[in-house]
Copies of this chain bind each other. A is one copy, B any other.
Amino acid sequence: MSENAITTVTVALAGRSYDIHIGQRLLTDGDRIASLVRGQQAIVVSNHTVAPLYLDALLVALGRIDCQVHVLPDGEQYKTLAHVADILDTALASNAARDVTFIALGGGVVGDMTGFAAACFMRGVAFVQVPTTLLAQVDSSVGGKTGVNHPRGKNLIGAFHQPVGVVIDTDTLSTLDPREYSAGLAEVIKYGAIMDLAFFEWLEANIEALRARDPEAVAYAVAQCCTLKARVVADDETEQGNRALLNFGHTFGHAVEAVTGYTTWLHGEAVAIGMRLAAQMSAIDADEQQRLVALLAAAGLPVAAPGLDADALLKAMGHDKKVLAGRIRLILLRSLGDAFVTDAYDDARLTQTLAAVGG
């Protein structure tokens, strides 16, 4: 891929299909984002970390459009219904009408909250994702999952609401905190682990280039993840079936986040720990388990959370959305690159696995 190449991936959803554009300098690429705005008015949502870096560029790119800006505090702890209500207040105070477009400029938290605000505003208006973190670029900005957290668990309040477009400027990763960047790599590795052995092997071979943020390696990985996710979402938009595979590591990871009050680990870090636990629960070779752990470690990710209480983790898993009729369903591996959903597992093994979360 040359430096100026733009990759476009389509999420095929009949009347709600949309394109993901991936490349460098897309934030300021002429009319690219402005052309996605319906009507003449936009509500641009960002946070206090991202806004100073990229908001001005975005507003210049949106030139002709009447923009109202809403800047959120930065952090998962602000991903609440009350802060979404604030976004809605801003939109209503600016006399936004049904043809307004919401634009999310930031990471997964900004995207989830902006998308949910757009879903609830006048029963649903258009929104555009402009993700600026690796995690948001490869995962949360694609697929229409929006929402907020609740004291009882993550993302328990929300909606499926697809964006009208996603514009991924990989240059924005240059300012990303290294720990946040590694957290994004957890989701990248997830795609390989659950559905694409060749990509997993590519990651094993290129993890150093990725960590060094080599533009070509980054662009390839982001495009590959979006392609895989678009395929899953097109097959199962509202997670009645295979979309659940994307939650590999997340059931465990959410539990780790919940019992640590969402402050110790970044989401991607918790998912990395969760993937290690899920691999340990899976009937795969020790060698394959080890390859996953090694790749996570090479990406700068934790694979253990010392000192956590296994009972508390189990209880926290009871509040995960993936529970049906009282039985926790898990996403496990048949082998690297091949995941499945199951509730047919050994309870003793689950308890044992959770007890080993520390190392």
- Say how many copies of this protein the assembly contains: 2
Listed stretches A21-29, A254-262, A284-292, A320-328; interface member: A320-328
* A122 to B: closest C-beta gap in Å: 5
Per DSSP, chain A at the interface is mixed
Known contacts A123-B147, A325-B40: A156-B92 contact under CB 8 Å: yes
Name the distance in Å between A319's Cβ and chain B's nearest Cβ: 7
Chain B proximity mask over A143-185: 1 for CB below 8 Å, otherwise 0: 0011100101101111110000000000000000000000000
Contact among B85, B99, B119, B322 with A325 in the assembled complex (CB-CB below 8 Å): B99
Q: Is A81 an interface residue (CB 8 A)?
A: yes
A145 contacts B159, C-beta separation under 8 Å: no
| Residues of B with C-beta under 8 A to A89 | 150
Question: B98 contacts A324, CB within 8 Å?
Answer: yes
Binary B-proximity of A94-128 (CB < 8 A = 1, otherwise 0): 01011100000000000000000001111110000
A68 to chain B: which residues have CB within 8 Å?
none
Q: Which of B153, B321, B325 contacts A39 (CB 8 A)?
A: B325
Q: Which of B123, B152, B157, B238 contacts A238 (CB 8 A)?
A: B123
B157 touches A88 (CB 8 A): yes
A348 at the interface (CB under 8 A from B): no
Tell me, yes or no, whether A318 is within 8 Å of chain B by CB: yes
B88 touches A120 (CB 8 A): no
Q: Which 8 A-B pairs have the closest CB atoms?
A: A92-B152, A123-B158, A122-B321, A97-B323, A120-B157, A123-B160, A123-B159, A81-B85
